[in-house]
Chains A and B, each alone.
Chain A
């Protein structure tokens, strides 16, 4: 048996975990759920020897440990697959799988033949075929994850933690991953999924442990839970997935008009329009071209033919600057690399897109009006911070996403394009973010939301466009927007 007994851990004055116990048997698949900051990561770190608990003990193979070093944890079969997979991009697949074996055997020399054999065996046991000599940076994300699993397998994994394992994967890749995890289960490996995506977790896990503010709030057989009860245990409050789509006045003017735009190899002949106060959802499978459409509307991907008009005026999109000038704001998918200046203060992040409005006649920035504006946005978007001068890294995922939102809202665009606005954001923040989007739509903004999160699209959108291999598939309107029908159309 693996698990923890009455683990507590505090950082300074903040309690990260209090009296957490959970257990998992070999061959079980367990889900560890909780919002950002609920203590999931701390729990993994304690079990893998990165952090030491203040009190309580760790159970590995039935043995009790007061504390562990990372090496001991590995020796007892604990492996963690982080979201970034912790692979070395410039080394080959074979080396990435086998080098950690060389390290733990304290070898001085490397035998490439032996390493290839080790890697080939590990991949074969999983039933996957990846070019052993390719560098890891040249293979797709899904293969990288498989390489990380192969490495764990090779290290004699007995309990495998997977942190947000499905975030970057397509549906098919997720199915493939689940197949492999089921294979591990048959070999007696205990797997712990750490995830936000409740639908997927329900598909694969048998048991669930839910954390909130460092304490276990619910645990048990996953069959006894549904999305609502999981959300309740995670947030401590009823989360109503009521439709948030704003009412669009009948006489609302069309703000964004897209006429048969094409970009070879990405999308073809896409047309739609968005009225003031309307939220249009665009969805499709990964690689369908949905993200590319969003990027094209912000000038980041070139449009070969077709026209885009804002408020009736045709615009040429040559890079983000021209899009901003035309009144288009864009919240990118990957906030860490595209949306935020991570090490800059929150204040500067909020104003990054709107700074030109705060420049006085002599070219100086007006400090006072900046502070007032930022304070107003922080209050408006409920960004949890003690000081706007703190760097953006000090915020949790959900709050970082609010800062990105604030940045674009501060320039009061007439069209706001959001690409995956709630990826990696916890349930509570997600609801707040959708609420903000609804509020801005009610204020007259035209909103385009691109997402693969169907429940979210169903909640917020007035109309939904489904993209199939770069072309408009079906279109849903008002009451036609149902999760079941959207899923059906996506799978078609």
Chain B
């Protein structure tokens, strides 16, 4: 018998990302080809630009949710936190006549409001040890009610000028063959930087590794001396802040602040993150996979019509994608278990 375990077979593939990420890229490419062959309008520079624009905010939300899923929890309050923080920020800016051209002020304000809401989740989950699904379901209802009764329930069309103008801040714009302007929003750059920063945080900081450890086995993490409670508290505050930023940017891109917006988007985001390879049981997930998951979902959502599928099927399609993601994980888990058993058997002979 040897104590040398076989070198993991995935190593060769890892140069190009995990099998799941490869699969997502393949799915995006194949789907694009299918849509494009059905409708040549698809093959235009406008398509990737539009896809990115519609995905940017979702990527922000998804990255926050990724952190929660890796830690073994779930958050369904983030869309409400996002719109709460964004709408409240706009209300505060208008009420106190803050510098209407500033971008920094609304971003910081929204992040703070988001973090405060996130700390309510943190208190319930890390402080009182409530199950994450129930805690965030409860706070989602509370936050929504609070927003509509105390902050405001009216649609605000005149948002501060800085936010308004930011919606057309393009990194580059290209004239398409159809004569329209294809525009790539400048947000692509900060969100890419943020994604890289989060990936680095998950990999290289003790906070990040502790998140993975908690998602893998909370009790073991505790026994290793990790501060499980404080880490959880920080997770939900961080996710709150991220959602707040996403919320104000959403309002900026939409050029209006509607407190009823974003409701129900949690389904899409959860589907995207799970498709991206984050385990609903905790312990696994990557930033790259999450971004690919969001892109895939949006590609499907935005182009169902080009494939001749009625728009009313959008939500059904997204729900189906979520189930596909979960089933794929269950199959992968089973295979992983089998592999362990065979290794053990080989070893004992």
Binds A, one of B110-118, B218-226, B253-261: B218-226
- Whether B8 pairs with A133 at a CB distance below 8 angstroms is yes
Contact B223 A86 (CB under 8 A): yes
Across the interface, A138 reaches (CB within 8 A) one of B204, B212, B220, B340, namely B340
B209, A99: Cβ atoms under 8 Å? Answer: yes
Greatest chain A CB density within 10 A among B203, B208, B221 is at B221
Contact partner, B5, options A88, A111, A134, Cβ 8 Å: A134
Is B212 in contact with A88, judged by CB distance below 8 angstroms?
yes
Q: Residue-by-residue, is B25-58 near A (CB-CB < 8 Å gives 1, otherwise 0)?
A: 0000000000000000000000000000000000
Is the C-beta of A380 less than 8 angstroms from some C-beta in chain B? no
In the assembly, what is the distance between CA of A350 and CA of B343, in Å?
36
Q: Which residues of B contact A133 (CB under 8 A)?
A: 7-8, 11
Contact of B203 among A89, A110, A172 (CB under 8 A): A110
Q: Please judge, given known A-B contacts A90-B212, A91-B212, A99-B213, whether A176 and B3 are in contact too, CB under 8 Å.
A: yes
Query: Is B4 a contact partner of A90 (Cβ separation < 8 A)?
Result: no
A446 CA to B344 CA in the complex, in Å? 32
**What's the interface size class on B, roughly?**
35 or more
Q: Give complex CA distance A111, B200 in Å.
A: 12
Q: In the complex, A112 Cα to B206 Cα: how many Å? A: 11
State whether the Cβ of A44 lies closer than 8 Å to any Cβ in chain B. no
Question: Which of A70, A109, A142, A469 sits near B204, CB closer than 8 Å?
Answer: A109
Q: Does A128 contact B (CB under 8 A)?
A: yes
- A99 engages B224 (CB within 8 Å): yes
Residue B217 lies at the interface, judged by CB distance under 8 Å to chain A: yes
A109, A130, A176: which contacts B4 (Cβ < 8 A)? A130
B348 within 8 Å of A (CB atoms): yes
A contact residues, total (Cβ < 8 Å): 46
B207: which A residues are within 8 A, CB to CB?
108
Per the bound structure, the CA–CA distance linking A286 and B348 in Å amounts to 7
Chain B proximity of A51: nearest CB distance (Å): 14
Complex: A137 Cα to B11 Cα, angstroms = 16
Q: How far is the CB of B220 from chain A (nearest CB, A)?
A: 4
Taking CB atoms, residues of chain A closer than 8 Å to B6 are: 131
Write the nearest CB–CB distance from B146 to chain A, whole angstroms.
Answer: 35
What is the CA–CA distance of A139 and B203 in the complex, to the nearest angstrom? 22
Residue B347 at the A interface, CB < 8 A? yes
Write out the residue numbers on chain A whose beta carbons fall within 8 Å of the beta carbon of B343.
138-140
Does B336 count as interface, using CB distance less than 8 angstroms? Answer: yes
Interchain Cβ contacts within 8 Å, total number = 115
Question: How far, in angstroms, from A74 to B4 measured CA to CA in the complex?
Answer: 29
CB distance from B154 to the nearest CB of A (A): 45
Interface presence of A331 (CB below 8 A)? no
Least distance between A20 CB and chain B CB atoms (Å)? 24
Bound: A446/B349 CA distance, A: 32
- The yes or no answer to B215 lying at the interface (CB within 8 A) is yes
In this assembly, does A103 line the interface, its C-beta being within 8 Å of a C-beta of chain B? yes
The answer to whether B1 touches A172 (Cβ under 8 A) is yes
| CA of A443 to CA of B210, assembled, Å | 56
Cβ-closest chain A residue relative to B219: A86
Residue A102 at the B interface, CB < 8 A? Answer: yes
**Cα–Cα, bound, A172→B219 (Å):** 30
Please tell me if the beta carbons of A88 and B220 are within 8 angstroms of each other in the complex.
Answer: yes
- In this assembly, does B106 line the interface, its C-beta being within 8 Å of a C-beta of chain A? no
A287 interface contact, C-beta 8 A? yes
Contacts of A108 in B (CB 8 A): 205-207
| Residue in B closest to A289 when the chains form the complex, CB atoms | B345
Minimum C-beta distance from A91 to chain B (A): 6
Q: In the complex, A287 Cα to B344 Cα: how many Å? A: 9
Q: B3 near A88 (CB under 8 angstroms)?
A: no
Q: Is A173 an interface residue (CB 8 A)?
A: yes
Given contacts A110-B206, A138-B336, A139-B5, contact A74 B225 (CB under 8 A): yes
CB closest residue in chain A, given B347:
A140
A141 contacts the other chain (CB 8 A): yes
Check if A256 is an interface residue, CB within 8 A of chain B: no
Give the residues from 216 to 236 in chain B that come closer than 8 angstroms, CB to CB, to chain A.
216-217, 219-221, 223-226
Q: Given the complex, which residues of B lie within 8 Å of A87, measured CB to CB?
A: 217, 220
Kindly report which residue of chain A lies nearest to residue B214, judged by CB atoms.
A88
A131-B209 CB under 8 A given contacts A90-B216, A110-B204? no
Residues of A within 8 A of B5 (CB): 130-131, 134, 138-140, 143
Within 8 A of B (CB), among A110-141: 110-112, 128-131, 133-135, 137-141
* A residues less than 8 Å from B102 (CB atoms): none
Nearest opposing residue in chain A for B340, CB measure: A138
The reply to whether B206 and A88 form a contact with Cβ atoms under 8 Å apart is no
- Residues of B contacting A91 with CB < 8 Å? 209, 212-213, 216
B277 contacts A by Cβ under 8 Å: no
Q: Which residues of B contact A387 (CB under 8 A)?
A: none
Q: Are A103 and B347 in contact (CB under 8 A)?
A: no
- Knowing A138-B5, A141-B344, A287-B345, the reply to whether A71 touches B220 (Cβ < 8 A) is no
A394 within 8 A of B: no
Question: Are B224 and A100 interface neighbours, CB within 8 A?
Answer: yes
User: When chains A and B are docked, how far (Å) is the Cα of A95 from the Cα of B212?
Assistant: 11
What residues of A have a CB within 8 angstroms of the CB of B344 in the complex?
A: 140-141, 287
| Smallest Cβ-Cβ distance to A288: which chain B residue | B348
Pick the contact of A103 from B3, B8, B203, B206 — CB < 8 Å?
A: B206
Residues of B within 8 A of A104 (CB): 225
What chain B residues lie within 8 Å of A488 (beta carbons)?
Answer: none
CB distance from B197 to the nearest CB of A (A): 13
Name the residue among B212, B283, B348 with the largest chain A CB count within 10 angstroms.
Answer: B348
Q: Tell me, yes or no, whether B78 is within 8 Å of chain A by CB.
A: no
| Cβ proximity bits B1-26 to A, threshold 8 Å, 1 near / 0 not | 10111111001000000000000000
The verdict on A107 contacting chain B, using a C-beta distance below 8 Å, is: yes
Q: Which residues of A423-479 are within 8 A (CB) of B?
A: 469
Residues from 332 to 349 in B contacting A, C-beta threshold 8 Å: 336, 339-340, 343-345, 347-349
Nearest CB in chain B: distance from A336 CB, A: 15
Q: Which residues between 134 and 161 of chain A lie within 8 Å of chain B, taking CB atoms?
A: 134-135, 137-143, 146
| Interface residue? B87 (CB, 8 A) | no
* A389 interface contact, C-beta 8 A: no
> Complex Cα distance A110/B213, Å?
13
In residues 305-349 of chain B, which contact A (Cβ within 8 Å)? 336, 339-340, 343-345, 347-349
**CB-based closest 4 A-B pairs:** A287-B348, A90-B283, A90-B216, A88-B216
Q: Which residues of A are at the interface with B, using a C-beta cutoff of 8 A?
A: 70-71, 74, 82, 84, 86-91, 95, 99-100, 102-104, 107-112, 128-131, 133-135, 137-143, 146, 170, 172-173, 176, 285-287, 469
Can you sample 8 A-B contacts with CB below 8 Å? A90-B283, A90-B284, A131-B6, A134-B8, A138-B340, A139-B340, A142-B347, A287-B348
Given contacts A82-B223, A100-B224, 16 further A-B contacts (CB under 8 A): A70-B225, A86-B219, A88-B213, A90-B212, A90-B215, A99-B209, A102-B209, A103-B206, A129-B3, A138-B340, A142-B3, A173-B348, A285-B348, A287-B344, A287-B345, A287-B349
